[in-house]
Structure formats: C-alpha cells, structure tokens
Amino acid sequence: MKSLRDKRVLLTGGGHGIGLAIAEAFAREGARIVLADLDEAKLSKAGERLDEIAPGSLLYRLDVTDTEGIADLREELIGELGGLEILVNNAGVVQGGAFLEVPLERHRQTVEVNTQAVIAVTHAFLGDLIAADEGHLVNIASASGFIGLPWGSTYAASKWAVIGFGESIRLELKRLGHDHVGVTSVCPSYVSTGMFEGVRQPLLTPFLSADKLAAKVMRAVRKNEPFVLEPAMIKIMPLLKGSLPTGVSDKILDAVGASTSMESWKGH
Ligand SMILES: NC(=O)c1ccc[n+]([C@@H]2O[C@H](COP(=O)([O-])OP(=O)(O)OC[C@H]3O[C@@H](n4cnc5c(N)ncnc54)[C@H](O)[C@@H]3O)[C@@H](O)[C@H]2O)c1
C-alpha cells in the first residue's frame, strides 16, 4: 500500500499504548482513524491526542468479546465511512502468574480477548478489506507467540494462535486471488506501555517504545511485510526454536532470561 492518505483504519484497543501509537502514526500520514476500545475514559483522552494531529477521528466503545457489539460497530462504521481499508486487531490483555495460581476465568478471558475476538472482528471486517481497492489486516501478536512463556502460559498460547490465524488468512487470501489484501503479524518483545510492568528485561532485548514499534508497523503495511519482529533479537527467534533441539533452545532462553522474565510481572 503505497499511500496511506485517506485510508480508513479501524484499531481495536486503540485507547492506549501500542494501538494509540499506531493510530497516531496513521493519522500523521493522513489516514482516517476509527478507535474502538472498552474503556471510555481512555478513548476520550486518545481522541484529544488524535485531534491535535488530525481532527475528526471516530471513537466507539466496544468490548471485542461482544459479537453483537462488533456487528453494530460495523454497521455504524460502514454507514459513516462507506468502507474500510485497514483493520488493526490490537486489543489484548495479560494475566501473569504461575498457571495454577491464576483463576481459570482469567485464562479464559485471555483467550477470549486475545484470540477469539481477533477471529470475530476479522470475520466481521475482512469482506470490507477485500471489497476495497487495497486492504491490510494487522494482528498484534507477540514474540511470545514463538516460544514458551512461563508465568504467562495462556498469554503465549493466545498469541501462538494469533500468528497461526494470521499466516493462514494471508495464504488463503493469496489462493483466493485477493492479492490486494496484505496481512502482517506483529511480534514484539516487551513494549513500555505498562501492560508488562515489573517484568525483568531479557538480555539483548531492550523494552521498545510504542512509537518505535508503530513506525515498524507503518513500514510493514506500506511494504506488505508478513511479519514485524522487534527488537532485532526477536528476528532470530523462529529460527532458534525451529532449528535447534529443544534442550539447546531451552538453555539459550534461560541464559538470556526470557524464561524467567515474567516471574516478577505486575502489569498495569
Ligand atoms: N506491551 C507489551 O509489552 C506487548 C508486547 C507484545 C504484544 N503486545 C500486545 O499489544 C497489544 C496492545 O498492548 P498494549 O501494551 O498497548 O496494552 P495496553 O493495556 O496499554 O492497551 C490495551 C488496550 O486494549 C483495550 N482493551 C482491553 N480489553 C479490551 C476489550 N475486551 N475490548 C476492547 N478493548 C480492550 C484496553 O482498554 C487498552 O486501551 C495487545 O494485544 C498486547 O498483547 C504488547
């Protein structure tokens, strides 16, 4: 997608953090922004920030786990803007802690928001991306979608699923001849938004700023890149997991502190 000017972009969980940083980056390029978030206070603050860049963004309260709410949003959005070129599935939650110490309800909620809702929102809007002259689906997954994450098992599982989903949709769109719709899976390590407050930074894996990650996402949409792997250390992660014996990759992940990083998680 060469130009982002006037492209209609929907971001879930766009009221804070990575979603808001991506919305601001798109707004700077002249795109038309639709933010959907569960939290009205965050939404209205985000709206004020976006107004400073490009007034006129649309703000919707949406719980991405509410299928009827997604359908209502689609009706309003298409009524208001007439179509959609870019969908950013960004809304996400995490609950750190040893698997058995986290109530089952929190494990279920993680899968509902991080995985099932990505499928539901994509189901509602993919037809609109296909109907546009050019379209792009961005799924915010995680570097933990390539490795095991102790003290974050269900979070990692939810992100492995998002990567598998994005890759499958990407290939399916090609097979169906919809080459004008790209798919990008975004897989960052820790980003300073507060979601992973308290974690220990693994070696050679500095915390990213949401703005720096947003710039990489913009580049991926422009160049139709299937993956954003950040920071640099994460680029070798799929190779490391896929090519080395498990005992060896376990030792490397232990040595860099990836396997213990979540032990001290506090979150927002
Ligand atoms: N922060 C990190 O280190 C990091 C790393 C890798 C991937 N990610 C992923 O990036 C995405 C954004 O994370 P962030 O760090 O900006 O988090 P954040 O907590 O700062 O922002 C998440 C936003 O999602 C919204 N949200 C939560 N549940 C929702 C729901 N059910 N419906 C609608 N909105 C909902 C929240 O209100 C919030 O505005 C998530 O998918 C997260 O898993 C984050």
pLDDT, tens only, 44-63: 999 999 999 999 999 999 99
Residues 37 and 28: their CA atoms lie apart, in Å, by 21
3-state helix, strand, coil in the chain (%, to 5): 50, 15, 35
pTM passes above 0.75: yes
Q: Hey, whose CA ends up nearest to atom 30 of ligand 1?
A: 63
User: What atom of ligand 1 comes closest to residue 186's alpha carbon?
Assistant: 7
- Residues with a known catalytic role: 155
The per-residue pLDDT for range 71-121, each reduced to its tens digit, is 999 999 999 999 999 999 999 999 999 999 999 999 999 999 999 999 999
**Mean pLDDT for the stretch of residues 117-126:** 98
Q: Residue 225 maps to which CATH number?
A: 3.40.50.720
Total domains present in the chain: 1
Give the Å distance between the CA of 19 and the centre of ligand 1. 7
Residue 2 belongs to some domain of the structure:
no
State percent of the chain over pLDDT 70: 100
pLDDT digits (tens, 9 = 90+) for 164-200: 999 999 999 999 999 999 999 999 999 999 999 999 9
Taken in order 89, 29, 233, 209, the sign of the CA dihedral is negative
Distance 252 CA to ligand 1 centre (A): 28
* Residue closest to 23 by CA, chosen among 60, 49, 44: 49
C-alpha distance across the termini of the chain, in Å: 35
For residue 38, give its domain range. Answer: 8-264
pLDDT value of residue 237: 92
Whether cis (ω within 30° of 0) applies to the bond prior to 231 is yes
Smallest CA separation from ligand 1 atom 32, residue: 63
